[in-house]
A = this chain, B = another copy of it.
Amino acid sequence: MQLARVHNLAVSLDGFGAGADPSLDAPFGHAGMRLMEWFFPTQTFQAQTGQRERVEVQGASDPDDRYARLSFVGIGSGIMGAGKFGPPGWQHDPAWTGWWGDEPPFHSPVFVLTHTPRPSVTRGDTTFHFMSASPAEALEAARQAAGGLDVRIGGGPTTVREFLAAGLIDHLHVVQVPILLGRGAHLWRGLEGWEREYDAVSETTPSWVTHLTFTRKEAAR
């Protein structure tokens, strides 16, 4: 069975997965990088960025890394929303190919949901396909492209919320950061009772974030 999985989605205590007013200079808007500080010292992040960004890997981040690395295990394709692929208005810039430079960390086909599709573009071993589709349609396309492996729903929070609301997510890993953003893109709105068909486990790490993992109950499959 191919699962639809979400990993490393950081949210504030008040449920925002990104701040307000995202831009080229501030991809997370007014939140800055505060939602991702737990991630930067992990081996997984450092391996992604290679020489591009130097942050010392910290041993204290090992418990976080155990979660972070799962995002890259058993994944055959990905889906992301337009808001994750670029800053507002990227659709009007034909030269925009994502935040990730020549070596995006996805290593698989990624389907970008946008109302203004464009031709596919390849960077490194990642090919971005652009499509205007419902969550279910996008998931079907991504499954077919995944070579039998799982599909990562890569965010942002609004896109993940739509997939959650549609009942399409099998595995959700959320990293709760004890900050209050007050505004931005909310993950949880309108999902009353969503958790009932999932088993939830949680773990707090030395970085004071809490990793929450929801896995669909067998009986609900």
A residues lining the B interface (CB < 8 Å): 13-15, 176, 178-183, 188-195, 200-204, 208-210, 212, 214
Contacts and interface: CB of A to CB of B under 8 A. Distances in A.
B178 A200 contact: yes
Contacts of A202: 178, 204, 208-210
Contact of A180 (B178, B180, B193): B193
Copies in the complex: 2
A160 to B, nearest CB: 13
B180 A195 contact: yes
A13 B178 contact: no
Contacts of A13: 15, 188, 195, 212
B193 A182 contact: yes
A202 to B, nearest CB: 5
Nearest to A191: B180
15 contacts: A13-B195, A14-B189, A176-B176, A178-B195, A178-B200, A178-B212, A181-B192, A182-B190, A182-B191, A182-B192, A200-B208, A202-B209, A203-B204, A204-B204, A204-B210
